[in-house]
Structure 1
Amino acid sequence: MRALWVLVILCWPLTAKAQITASLVADSVTVVGETQLIATGNVQAFYAGATLSASRIIYDRPTDRLIIEGPIFLREENGDILLADRAELDPRFENGLLRGARLVLNQQLQLAANQISRVEDGRYSALTRTVATSCQVCGTRAPLWEIRAETVIHDTEARQLYFEDASLHVRGVPIFWLPRMRLPDPTLDRATGFLTPSIPTTNDLGVGIKIPYFIRLGDRADLTLTPYYSGATNTLEARFRQAYLAGDIEINAAVSRDDLLPDTWRSYIEGNGRFDLGRDFKLTFSTEAVSDPDYLSDYSYSEADRLASGLRVVRVDDDELFVAEGNYYASLRDGEVDSSLPPLVLSFGYERRIVPDVIGGVVTWGVSGDALNRDYELDPDNARDLSRLGLMAAYHNQWIAPIGIVATVDADLRLDYYAVADDPAAESGWRVGPAAAITLRWPFVRPSSGGVTQVIEPVVSLGYSDSIGVLPPNEDALLAELDEGNLYALTRTPGQDAREVGTRVSAGVAWTRTGPGGEVASLSFGRVYQSETQPAYSLASGQSSATSDWLLTAGLETRGGFGIDLRTLFDDHWSFNKTETRIDWENDRIGLAAAYLWLPADPSRDRETPASEWRFDATAQLSPNWAVSADARYDVGADQLARAGLGVGWQNECVTVDLSAERRYSSSTDEDPTTTYNLTINLIGFSTGRSTAGPTGQCRD
């Protein structure tokens, strides 16, 4: 029968420091005189959250030491594991020597050594003739990778590993040697040091290498510097992050000297941040600048062809909305000047919602304004400046008639003053914009015994709107669309400047089928009948005539992850306008998606010929270790690929390898095709969580 002992003899040197009791369980415990205690047979000792297992433990009181015979298993309070053949430790397991030992950190990184010396109350562990790896070790076969070092020091307080005379081996073959090296242990999230390098390759810049260096600037800030070297460029990339109690900022930048623009410094900077100002006010800002239009695409930093820098303050609660923002735009497109954007846009808006007891419904009132500024000296012919200040009031209410008809009433009144400068064709002045509509919906529901529910809902909406006063230039409502979200709305113009005028009727019907397993099929169509044509709508919008195109939408979602979405416009002669189709299928291992987009010619959008494009995306987890991905964009009008990409990833318990290739055939700033390759290899085990690792390999005979 096993004996449980409270080792008072072990506690004598400890009680002066803390009232902690060490416990021991063994098959046999013998006290030899007043100087020794011998425990044998399945020995387990417990102290301050640490657990030690051994075949035999001898406590020698004169030296205050434990002589332990293995196999030894020591699990410390922080989860670190020590295994050894023989050890001499103090009664707190903090100082001493372990022979034939192995240290396992965070159940991930294992370090095998001839001996481990523990000093400074367990803060430092010195490992001699060490092999470190996070790979599965099978018998005498060398692991996939390992680091061999003459000495390794583990600092448990700083959570750092210091290697001396270290070499990296792959399947036992030495790859490179370093006299000294410092790496974080797996429990450390942020530490100054090198990050995983990558090897990018492009046809413009050749084969290169990026070696990021992470600098910890405290608990709330860090800086990452990434030198990028190739035969055609010397580049330094930088990322700065700072966290505050009320927000954070991030700045990314790069500076280059390359063969693409010899003797020229090329650079870019991008910054963004967000802050909580208190009382529900949120502040966000962003900034972008670049030395030349091609820099971002040459280095694959961004596909943006316009840059935006701005500041935004917003407050949202149950009944109020406040927004104030300012934005500056710069174009990178060939042939587009900044003055046409316009470059500087300021705006603000305040809305409040009221629920009156007398009339019911919801009343919303607000004030808003915006200002657009262009540089007259850069482009006198397109230098129009515009400012607007407006008031609005709106009413919304809904009723359900006894026969099931849902009636919705919307009314809106806007008063705006426009100030226009540097445009002789436009005038300043007041404009009044009234609008009202009533919408009737009559849903018919048909449930069935099999759990299928079908809903058919005819809808008709009668509306009126007008614009009384000056006719301002249309600056903010250029991309008017007709879709299921605004078919029955008061207006289909997305901004304030352009307004629909006259009477209109919107009519349509929607059908939805919901299956017992959650599968959903839907179909809807409708159109808008206007009393007069609307000059704000382009030919490609489907609304340029008094009678709009037919809007048709369809969708399908199944339990197996298959989905289809279709949206198209067509006229009475079945001539199709804008069309978009998306098909996707996804399960635990495979994801497939395809999309088709067709846009007709639209001179108002500088699109002289129709544009159409196919897009494909695919991901597949071929096995627990292997994953592949692919994407492509095909320009049907140009009859060529616009972009193609392929990625292959492999991972196991100790390494991840990612290889990607991308071919970009053209962009708005560069017509030459660009091919980019990138290779990244990451050794798991140094400040990387086990959650990022792949499956553990199995040892085979």
Structure 2
Amino acid sequence: MAVSLPWYAIAQDTAAAPQPTDADERVVLEADYVYEIRDENQLVAEGNVEALYQGRILRADKLVYDRSTEKVRATGNVIIIDETGAQQFADEVEVDSTLSDGYAIGFSARLEGDATVAANSAIRQSDGVNALDQVVYTACPVCEEDKTPTWAVRARRAVLDQESQMISYRDAVIEVAGIPVFYFPFLAHPDPSSERRSGLLIPSAGNSSKLGWFYQQPYYWAVSDSTDITIAPMVTQNVNPLLELDLRKRFYSGSINFNTSFTNEQDFDSDGELFGEEKLRGHIYGSGLFAINNEWKWGFGVEHQSDDLYDRRYDIDGQDEKRGLYSSQPRRLLSQIFAMGQGESYYSDVALLKFQGLRSSDDDGELPTALPVFFSEKYWDLGKMGYASVNASSAILSRDLGADSHRVSFGADWSDLNVLPGGFTFEQFAEVRADYYRLDEDVSGEEDASRIVGNVGGKLAYPMIRPGEMVDIMIEPAVMAAWGPSNVNDDVIPIEDSLLFESDASSLFDPNGFGAYDLYEGDGKLSAGITARTLWKNGMDFSTTVGKRWRSRPDDSFDGISNLDGTSSDWIIAATANFGPQLKIDTRARLDEDGFSLNRIDTKITSNFKRFRGVAQYYKVDERIATTGRADEGIYVRGELRVTDQYSIIAGQLRDIEDNLNARQEYGIAFEDDCSRFELVYQRTELIDRTLGPEESIQFRFFLKSIGNFGSSEFD
């Protein structure tokens, strides 16, 4: 039976009811049976009851409407669905005629993200506030067979504010598998449907041999729709407190991001022993990027810290992140401001660079300041005549200690690719560049130096393709020949950008095998190699390049690392085997030209197959081409094996084979389900950096869906 009447006019006989005057003030009621108890002035609906009012729906086994009090009491499998689609459940409820204000017994609600909150009783107000008593909250699926979720927040009282989208608890206990783990006198977090908002974040606490017992409590401040700040003070047992700040802000044309910390303290070693002068110490890492117009952008990156070991003493991450146009080297900080533009036929960038060294051998006075580094290129499509470009670049480097150097370069390139009879391809090319160096006469003995370099030549290739039903095979042998002026590398020219350059497969067929400016490969040179690729229809892919380079005469400016010393290079090998997510192998290798002994190899294997995911990397460098002057060999492995659907084993190790040392190792177990992840991991590193020595830790960390990441306890 269904009726569509105001609450005050509901009756069994719908034909006798007055016609509705305002649909918004009416309730649509459906039930198997509807009858009236006149003595008590009540209307009763039983059996599959459903009441609809202004988008809100109430379902129950039985509903009683009291005309005198205008209250609705529903019992038996009660469900209330509001305008947003959120569902609330109860054994019994009493609400007003608008289905909003009231109380519930045996209350529960299903929130976004499959989160559930349940309480013995609840009082609902018209402003969307639910006051709950004896509360349990979890984001884990709750099954009838197992009513104990992986984790839950159990509290004496709570408030679910649908207007502010916050859940606040009093006397809250976080339970894991039904076992109490953490107690909070007060705890609050947004409900899963909430946007960002201010409030306390999950703290981190633990014990370290450097810091002693420590506790860090972050506070997230949503300043505005475009700005937020995280304030994270840390108090420790062994040293003075530290304050860490994170700032993020969006603008109409871009954004900025800063991380900084500061404290007033002495230096300390791995055992927490203080020494030296007490002073203000800290760090700042920041970046920003802004659009000037559709083609031009400008930005900046800031990296600075008061002490070489500040980040390692306080375990501050982020030193290796890229914060601008240029990337820094390990244990070198780089601050920069830059602009770059790119259109259909040009590219330009300019940057100011400042370095800070964190290595024990670094002297900041010897590190250069670039004022500025500049590059610009303009190119043209000449149609049948090929492609041409002109470019200009500069590097103005100054030092407080050591030699300054100023370089300005102008160049031009031309290339033309043609298909010859029989399927051969022939690429003609020519390049020329003029360099001018203004030198530090006190160091180099010369006031300036200039040169003109260039190359002219061609590349002949024969691409062969054999398509098949299951696999396509492509093979391309190629030969490149080029000639350039001799004796172009003057000893007075400082080598700033080519110290660690190594010619590999990516530059095998380049006329100038040296990809930087301060050194240039002139003379006659010849490259030969073959590239093969096999592509299966199911997505598997295998490719490899093997080649070698010859020179007409040796150039003493090139060292063994560059692979351009002497008159012939090592054999160059690059190979990739991609079998999909299950297995991928990347290998780069150099084989000695005499006897094919292995001079360098770097192989990386990644796998994500069924219950296993991991990465393995093996490297070996012969002492002849090692930057340190001694051989280096090692292997790094890290993987996670899912033993069951929920439990995994974690293992990792960096083995220094040359020194017979486990440089870093990691072992642990993990538990993961739909709503959480728990890890217990032991780590040890043998890193020694001045006053900081080997460290080991036991870390326990976990993630709870809809609440966040919890910290870990560490024992160094």
Query: Normalised by the size of structure 1, how large is the TM-score?
Result: 0.87
CA deviations 1:244-279 (Å, max 9, x no partner) are 232222211223446344463442221122222223
Alignment counterpart, residue 32 of structure 2, candidates 27, 31, 41 = 27
| 8 Å CA contact 2:75, 2:92 repeated in 1 | yes
* Residue 330 (structure 1) shift: 1.2
Q: Which residue of 2 aligns with 1:5?
A: 3
Distance 2:223 2:179 in 1: 37
Residues 93-113 of structure 1, C-alpha deviation per residue, up to 9 Å, x if partnerless?
A: 221222332233325443333
Aligned equivalent of 1:70, options 76, 88, 91: 76
Unpaired segments of 5 or more residues in structure 1?
689-701
Question: Does the 8 Å contact 1:276/1:282 carry over to 2?
Answer: yes
Is structure 2 residue 647 aligned with structure 1 residue 631?
A: no
> How far is 1:664 from its partner?
1.9
CA contact (8 A) 2:488 2:522 kept: no
Matched, 1:562 2:574: no
Equivalent position to 1:582, from 584, 604, 611: 604
SS in 2 for 1:416: strand
Q: Secondary structure at the match of 2:311?
A: helix
CA RMSD of aligned residues (A): 3.2
* 1:222 and 2:228 are equivalent in the alignment: yes
Q: After superposition, give the CA deviation of every residue in 1:542-597 in whole Å (9 maximum; x if it has no partner).
A: 22101222223333333572333332222123243222223333224312332222
The letter of the residue matching 2:31 is: A
Matched, 1:369 2:376: no
The correspondence for 1:350, drawn from 369, 376, 383, is 376
Residue in 1 that maps onto 2:96: 90
2:327 aligns with none
| 1:390 corresponds to 2:431 | no
In structure 2, the partner of 1:312 is: 338
Q: Distance in 2 between matches of 1:91 and 1:627?
A: 53
Q: Which residue of 2 aligns with 1:251?
A: 258
Among 337, 350, 356, which residue is 1:324 paired with?
350
SS for the counterpart of 1:371 is strand
Aligned-residue offset at 1:609: 1.4
Give the Cα–Cα distance (whole angstroms) in 1 for the partners of residues 682 and 578 of structure 2.
Answer: 33
The aligned counterpart of 1:235 is 242
Q: How far apart, in 1, do the equivalents of 2:135 and 2:21 lie?
A: 37
Q: Structure 1 residue 285 and structure 2 residue 300: aligned?
A: yes
Instruction: Give unmatched runs, 5+ long, in structure 2.
Output: 11-19, 320-329, 710-716
Shift of 1:310: 0.9
Distance in 1 separating the partners of 2:9 and 2:382:
76
Relative to structure 1, the CA distance from residue 149 to residue 290 in structure 2 (aligned partners, 3 Å threshold; closer, same or farther) is same
Name 1:699's counterpart in structure 2: none
Aligned residues with identical type, % of pairs: 25
Aligned to 1:116: 122
1:341 to 367, 386, 389: 367
Separation in 1 of the partners of 2:35 and 2:462? 90
Question: Per the alignment, in what secondary structure is the counterpart of residue 312 of structure 2?
Answer: helix
Structure 2 vs 1, CA of residues 393 and 650 (structure 1 numbering), >3 Å: closer, same or farther? Answer: same
Residues 153 and 173, structure 2, Cα contact 8 Å, conserved in 1: yes
- 1:141-188 deviation digits (Å, cap 9, x = unpaired): 765554444432222111122333545556666666555443322222
1:694 paired residue number: none
Change (3 A) 1:214 1:260: farther
* Maintained 8 Å contact 2:561/2:627: no
Output the CA distance in 2 between the equivalents of 1:17 and 1:627.
61
Change beyond 3 A, Cα 1:669–1:16: farther
1:143-292 correspondence runs (5 A):
145-168=151-174, 178-233=184-239, 234-256=241-263, 257=265, 259-262=272-275, 264-265=278-279, 266-292=281-307
The alignment partner of 1:423 has SS state of helix
Matched residues in 2 for 1:203 and 1:413: separation? 60
Aligned to 2:422, the other structure's residue is in SS state: coil
Instruction: Give secondary structure in 2 for the equivalent of 1:217.
Output: strand
User: Does the 8 A contact of 1:539 with 1:602 survive in 2?
Assistant: yes
Which residues in structure 2 correspond to 1:490-529 (within 5 Å)? 490-529=511-550
Please report how far the alpha carbon of residue 294 of structure 1 lies from its aligned counterpart in structure 2 after TM superposition: 1.7
Q: Deviation at 1:138?
A: 5.9
User: What is the Cα deviation at residue 126 of structure 1?
Assistant: 1.6
Aligned residue type for 1:476: D
Please state whether the residue corresponding to 2:507 is helix, strand or coil. coil
Corresponding residue for 1:698?
none
- In structure 2, how many angstroms separate the alpha carbons of the residues matched to 1:212 and 1:439? 60
2:463 alignment partner in structure 1: 443
Distance in 1 (alpha carbons) for counterparts of 2:544 and 2:489: 41
Asked if the contact 1:202–1:674 (Cα under 8 Å) also holds between the matched residues in 2, the reply is no
Counterpart of 1:455 (choices 461, 469, 474) is 474
Higher relative contact order (CA 8 A, sep 6+): 1
Q: Which residue is equivalent to 1:106?
A: 112
Report which stretch shifted further, 132-141 or 320-329.
132-141
| 1:649-664 correspondence runs (5 A) | 649-664=670-685
Query: Structure 1 residues 64 and 516, CA, compared in 2 at 3 Å: closer, same or farther?
Result: same
In the comparison of the two structures, how many residue pairs are matched?
675
Q: Aligned AA for 1:399?
A: N
* Residue 413 (structure 1) shift: 1.7
Equivalent position amino acid for 1:641 in 2: N
Per the alignment, residue 665 of structure 2 pairs with 644
Look up the match of 2:497: 476
Report if the CA contact (8 A) 1:64-1:90 is conserved: yes
Deviation at 1:78, TM superposition (A): 2.5
Query: Deviation per CA, 1:513-544, whole angstroms, max 9, x where unpaired?
Result: 33343333334322111112133421233221
The more displaced of 85-94 and 59-68 is: 59-68
1:46-75 Cα shifts (integer Å, max 9, x gaps): 233332211222334453332322221112
Q: Distance in 2 between matches of 1:623 and 1:276?
A: 50
Asked whether the equivalents of residues 152 and 161 of structure 1 are also in contact (C-alpha less than 8 Å), the reply is: yes
2:505 is paired with a residue of what secondary structure? coil
8 Å contact from structure 1 (residues 453, 515) kept in 2: yes
Task: Give the TM-score normalised by the residue count of structure 2.
Answer: 0.86
Residue 596 (str. 1) matches residue 601 (str. 2): no
Give the structure 1 partner of residue 554 of structure 2: 533
| Contact 1:293–1:669, Cα closer than 8 Å, also in 2 | no
Q: Distance in 2 between matches of 1:457 and 1:470?
A: 34
Preserved contact between residue 42 and residue 66 of structure 2 (Cα < 8 Å) = yes
Distance 2:148 2:466 in 1: 68
Q: Which letter maps to 1:397?
A: D
Given that 1:222 and 1:241 are in contact with CA atoms closer than 8 Å, whether structure 2 keeps it comes out as yes
C-alpha deviation, 1:403, in angstroms: 0.5
Asked if the contact 1:81–1:105 (Cα under 8 Å) also holds between the matched residues in 2, the reply is: yes
Letter aligned with residue 423 of structure 1: V
Corresponding position of 1:430? 450
